[in-house]
Each structure stands twice: as C-alpha cells, then as structure tokens.
Amino acid sequence: MDRDSHSEDTLSTMVLENIKNKLIHAFRTTGESREDPQDSGSTVSPVSIGRSYQANEELRRAQIDGAITWLRSELLEMRSQDLQLAQTLLGLNTEIQRLRRESYGSLEVEGDDQQ
C-alpha cells in the first residue's frame, strides 16, 4: 500500500508540475502579447520596464505556486477521504459476509431439523 501511495505521489507531482509549466507558459505568452511594439518610443526607461516585468513575473509565479499548493492540499484531502471510504466499504463487506455466514448457518440448522 505504501508503494502505491508513493507512486500516486510521484504521479500527482508530475501532473502538478505539468500544469504549473503550462500556466507559466500561458501567463508568459499573455504578458508578451500585451506588450505593444509601438510603445518602444515612450519615455519610460527600459530598466523600469524590466523591473516591472520581473515583478509581474514573480507575482504570477507566486500565484501559480499558491494555486498548486492549494491543489496539493485538496488532493491530499481527497486521498484521505478515499482511504476512509475504502475502510468503511471493507468493514461493510466484512459485516455482510459475516451475516451471510450466520444466515446460511441458521438455514442449514433449520433444514437439518426438518429432515
């Protein structure tokens, strides 16, 4: 079971990293497409544009990291609920099997009494 959860962790991490990279790429291309080439003649210095872009990029990364952290916590909560549900279902199955054995046992005893 521990090996299964480790492989699930690895798979979850890979999926989340893929989502993170797609989001970073999407934000990066969105930010680049917003830049207007006609603004190159403006009075704003390239250094301040670079700093602004860098600050926006860091903010985007922080937001993406926050979203990924939230997704991880939700996935862990879902896994916990899944394990609880599995335990409940196994307990119910065990109880059903026990009741069946008792029921069949009482039927055999009644059948023996009638013969």
Q: What is the pLDDT of residue 96?
A: 96
Query: Across 8-55, where does the E strand assignment appear?
Result: none
Report pTM.
0.47
Chain position carrying tokens 């008792």: 102
pLDDT digits 0-9 by tens, 25-82: 777 765 555 555 555 555 556 667 778 888 888 999 999 999 999 999 999 999 999 9
Pick 17 or 85 by higher pLDDT.
85
The string of DSSP codes covering 3-42 is: HHHHHHHHHHHHHHHHHHHHHHHHHHHHHHHHS-GGGGGS
Which of 20-24, 29-33, 45-49, 111-115 is predicted least confidently?
A: 29-33
Q: What is the pLDDT of residue 90?
A: 97
